[in-house]
Amino acid sequence: MIKHDWTRDQIAAIYEQPLMDLLMQAQTLHREHHHANQVQVSQLMSIKTGACPEDCAYCPQAGIYDTGLDKEKLAAIEAVVEQARAAKASGATRFCMGAAWREPPAKAMPVLTAMVSEVKALGLETCMTLGMLDADQAGTLAEAGLDYYNHNLDTSPEHYGNIITTRTYGDRLETLAEVRNAGMKVCSGGILGLDESQNDRIGLLQSLANLPEHPDSVPINQLVKVPGTPLEDAEDLDPIDFVRTVATARIIMPRSVVRLSAGREIMSDEMQALCFMAGANSLFYGETLLTTPNPETDQDQALFKRMGIQTTQQGDPVKTYTPQAKSAWEQKVDSLAKDAMSL
């Protein structure tokens, strides 16, 4: 039974456990609902860069901050298709297209829908992140065949006003509702390292887990501090807090795919491995994530090989929950324990 009425205290009780207990619970639940050693890979392309009218305090693309970013107009369809083809060749199954807008302008909609259909024709899943959507825009993108729409809640409702003043938390929830109503899959998560408190991290998870349906995909980002943005000197995030947030997301949204997103460039391989242990099962490939650096694809593939992780292939069956799945895992642990005792 999927739960949608989490209290802060309930989530805090999960988050604050001894780390080994938290990881064990997250990994056990992960195995019930997901293939244990599989990771889904997406690739993200910035299709319109910079000059955004919003004021997100972490973002180098906000027009009001002087970050030295090269602005780019909406990309040509052919350029997008070319990158999507390369993404598929490097093992991505989903291609995400991001544009720095408050909301997509009406004149861009025909170009965006053409991008969706051409990328889908390559056999890739499609995702877009274009800012706020109204019902008509969500319907148009859904009709074009867009599979996922990303719109993050970013942080807790209380901390949100310290990070963004040009749109409200309620605006974000409305866009998520339009995406869901249009029949697209919801991708929504947040960013850690925004000088938030532990209660804010828990509040973000509560907002996500108490949506009418859990997001299909929950990206957990770590702030990449960009000079020129208000958060360039934000306090460093404790990596263990990042891992705790991933594990708690896995436990309270057991069927969602939890994605490691921005900030992987500054994570060690060991920290990423701990995140996979905690239930992360998706990441972005590619040298940049919109405008911030990301590990090289080869480096990711080498880590997967060292960890024995397979990447999800298009058409792989989704694991459906059965109570037996847990007992198979437990039986394996029991039998290993017995073997160890007989030595």
For the CB of residue 59, give the shortest distance to ligand SF4 in the complex, in Å.
3
Among 59, 167, 244, 275, the one annotated catalytic: 59
Q: Is 96 a catalytic residue?
A: yes
- Radius of gyration of the chain from its Cα atoms, rounded to whole angstroms: 20
Question: Rounded CA gap, 160 and 201, in Å?
Answer: 11
Close Cβ partners of 226 (under 8 Å, ≥ 6 residues apart): 58, 59, 60, 67, 232, 292
Choice between 39 and 100, CB closer to ligand SF4: 100
Only one of the segments 55-63, 209-217, 244-252, 307-315 lies at the binding site for ligand SF4 (rule: CB under 6 A); that segment is 55-63
Work out which of 131, 193, 203, 286 binds ligand SF4, going by CB under 6 A.
131
| Residues 219 and 187: beta-carbon distance below 8 Å | yes
For the CB of residue 66, give the shortest distance to ligand SF4 in the complex, in Å.
14
Q: Is 275 a catalytic residue?
A: no
Number of helices followed by number of strands (H, E) in the chain = 12, 12
- Two tokens at 167? 């749109």
Residue 218 makes contact with ligand SF4 by CB under 6 A: no
Question: Rounded CA gap, 232 and 12, in Å?
Answer: 28
- Residues 87-116 contacting ligand SF4, CB under 6 A: 100
Residue 45 makes contact with ligand SF4 by CB under 6 A: no
Query: Rounded to a whole number, what is the largest CA-CA distance in the chain?
Result: 71
Choice between 171 and 216, CB closer to ligand SF4: 171
Choice between 59 and 289, CB closer to ligand SF4: 59
| Residues 259 and 285: beta-carbon distance below 8 Å | no
Residue 205 makes contact with ligand SF4 by CB under 6 A: no
The three-state secondary structure class of 175 is helix
Residue 153 makes contact with ligand SF4 by CB under 6 A: no
Residue 52 makes contact with ligand SF4 by CB under 6 A: yes
Question: Rounded CA gap, 311 and 161, in Å?
Answer: 38
The residues of the shown chain that bind ligand SF4, judged by CB under 6 A, are 52, 54, 56, 59, 61-62, 100, 131
Point out the residues that are catalytic. 52, 56, 59, 96, 127, 187, 259
